[in-house]
Structures are given as structure tokens and as C-alpha cells.
Amino acid sequence: MREAAEAEAAVNGLCQAAGVSRAGYYRFLRRPQRQGGDMDLRSHLQRIALQWPAYGYRRVHVELRKRGWEVNHKRVLRLMRADNLLCLRRRKFILTTDSKHGLRIYPNLAKDMVLTRINQLWVADITYIRLQVEFVYLAVLLDAFSRRCIGWALQRSLEAALVLEALRRALRQRRPRPGLVHHSDRGVQYASLDYTARLQQHGIRISMSRRGNVYDNARAESFIKTLKYEEVYRTEYRNLEEAKASIKTFLEKIYNQERSHSALGYRPPLEFEQSLSVSSRGKRGAAA
């Protein structure tokens, strides 16, 4: 008791000499621990931002909690803003859609759909990839419900063969039942007779965006933006083969298996689809 009283008196004397309150003194004692915590947290934030440069503070907050951090999302926002981790670089895009053709244009079936399962709606799009000495073109197909990339193709040509290859991969992987809706823009590749015939052969209903409405294919365009910021803008591809290898890793491993999505409960597409299978088996077991 005597030692505690002496220590308390010493603290009072120091505070009076320095002209500060006792409460302020004890806050000062606690401050280095928070600073050290901030430094450690900043290190983790920077690593996450390097791996996922398009993540906003909410996704980073979820990722930190997965890694064992008990941290408020406001603190994450403050530190990311202070470290300039919220800024993204934008680049101009090259037009890949030629909708001025005489081929049949199909109505937009996707706009009124309520999605409840996979293989209900697929969305498709094309973008360009810059190599050292040329441009190549990437066609993708996504399952709109799970956000999973189910088909892709990377080629030098914008001919219909590009989108046919992406479709072939998707059909081989998913084997959908008739009635699935395929949605795309009005580009000549998707309106081509070869492509539409292949869709109809598999009982797939064709849907296309309305003229001049950029929101009609928002899911696919959002995916393209993610691809650009998290893979393409961070990589220098020397040739087509190198680009194929790197983009394959991003699409099939990083995006499908690792990247979290807020719409999926901050889970990657593959994990989300697997949870659907588990839930379905559980319901069948309960019914039995």
C-alpha cells in the first residue's frame, strides 16, 4: 500500500511539473501500444492492397477479420486513406463491340430475371489485352448467380471463333439444362449465325442488351473492370502464350477460388457454389 501511494504521489508530481493531467499521462502511456498496433495493421493492409488492389475498405476489413484481426471498419478506412490505398488508376478502353450489322438482335430477357440458382443466367463480354507489340482479345462467360468465370478464350482475332471457344469451355464444364439464358451485348460476334446456332442447339435462350444501355450487361462489365485492375494493369505480357498462362491463373485460381465477393457473403465463387451443393444435400436429407 505504501509503495502504491508513493508511486501515485510520484505520478502526481510529474504531471504537475509537466503541466498535464493524470488522465492525459495515462493516455500517453497507452499510446505506443496503439501506434505499434497501427504499424502492424498497416503492414497487413499494404499486403492485402498489393494482392487485391481493387478492394475497398469494406472488403479489406472482412479480409483482416478472416486473418484474426479484431478491428473496426472505420479504423481500416482511416488507415487506408492515410496510406493512399483507396486510389485506383484508370485507363482508356478500346472499343470491341461492333453492333452495326444486319444480323438478328434478340430481346433483353435478363433484365427482369430473379436469380435463385446457378446455370440460370450466363453473361458474356469481350475486352482487349495489351501485349508488348500487339493487342489480343479476351472473351469471358460468367455465371451471373455465383459470379464464377466458367469459360474464356484469348486470341488475336475478334472473329466469332473467339466467343465460340469461350462458349465451348463453358458448355463442357457446366453441361446446362435447356432453358438457360445467355446474355451479351449486340456485338457481331454474339449475333453471328454460328454462335446463335450453337446456343440454340443446346436449348439456351438468347438475350441481348438494349441499344445504348450500358447497365444491361453490368455484371460482365464489372468483372472486366476487376480483371483489368487486379491482373492486366499489374502485368507486362511479352507474348500471347505468356498472357494466356497468367490470365488462366487469375481466372481459374485467383478469381474463382480466392477473391471474395460482397454479394456472395464475402466468399469466392467456387466456395459459394460448394456451399449451395452442401445446402442442397442437407435439404434432400431432411426431406427423406
String of DSSP letters for 43-90: HHHHHHHHH-TT--HHHHHHHHHHTT----HHHHHHHHHHTT-S----
Q: What is the pLDDT of residues 49-58, one digit of tens each?
A: 777 777 778 8
First vs last C-alpha separation in the chain: 70
> Where residue 217 falls among pLDDT bands split at 50, 70, 90?
confident
Q: Judging by DSSP bridges, how do beta strands 205-208 and 149-155 pair with one another?
A: unpaired
Q: Would you state the pLDDT for residue 24? A: 56
Find out whether 107 and 208 touch, Cβ atoms under 8 Å.
Answer: yes
Where do the domains of the chain lie?
2-82, 110-279
DSSP 234-255: G----SHHHHHHHHHHIIIIII
More confident residue, 246 or 3: 246
Q: Show Cβ contacts of residue 244 under 8 Å, excluding neighbours closer than 6 positions.
A: 154
Q: What is the pLDDT of residues 102-142, one digit of tens each?
A: 789 999 999 999 999 999 999 999 999 988 888 899 999 99
Q: Would you state the pLDDT for residue 75? A: 86
Q: Which amino acid is at 194?
A: D
Of the CATH numbers 3.30.420.40, 3.30.420.10, 1.20.1560.10, 3.90.1150.10, which one belongs to the domain with range 110-279? 3.30.420.10
More confident residue, 195 or 39: 195
Whether the model clears a pTM of 0.95, i.e. scores above it, the answer is no
Neighbouring C-beta atoms of residue 194, cutoff 10 Å: 12
> Where residue 31 falls among pLDDT bands split at 50, 70, 90?
very low
Cell numbers describing residue 122: 450466363
Q: Would you state the pLDDT for residue 228? A: 92
Closest by CA position to 67, among listed 45, 49, 84, 85: 45
> Where residue 21 falls among pLDDT bands split at 50, 70, 90?
low
